[in-house]
Amino acid sequence: MWKGFYSAMSPFKKAGFHPDQIHTTELETTWRRVLFGEQGQLVGHLK
């Protein structure tokens, strides 16, 4: 589990780092579909 963890976290440790610098559009699109899509897990909970 820990193999490669610290090297993968190196972008987050740089001086001046801000989370907005990480591209997350694809990840957000996937989770919106999984959670709120036609057969999404949270569809019944939407108001």
Instruction: Give the chain's domain count.
Output: 1
Q: What's residue 1's pLDDT?
A: 66
**33 pLDDT exceeds 80?**
yes
**Residue 46 included in any domain:** no
Residue 9 lies in a domain: yes
Place of tokens 């036609």: 38
**Tokens found for residue 28:** 């957000």
List pLDDT tens digits, range 3-17: 888 888 888 888 998
The answer to the question of residue 15 being in a domain is yes
Closest CA to 9 of 27, 22, 28: 22
pLDDT computed for residue 8 by the predictor: 85
Is residue 16 a part of any domain in this protein?
Answer: yes
Is 47 part of a structural domain of the chain? no
Residue range 26-30: average pLDDT? 95
- Asked, for residue 27, whether it belongs to a domain, the answer is yes
Residue 18 placed within a domain:
yes
Q: State the residue range of the domain holding 10.
A: 2-36
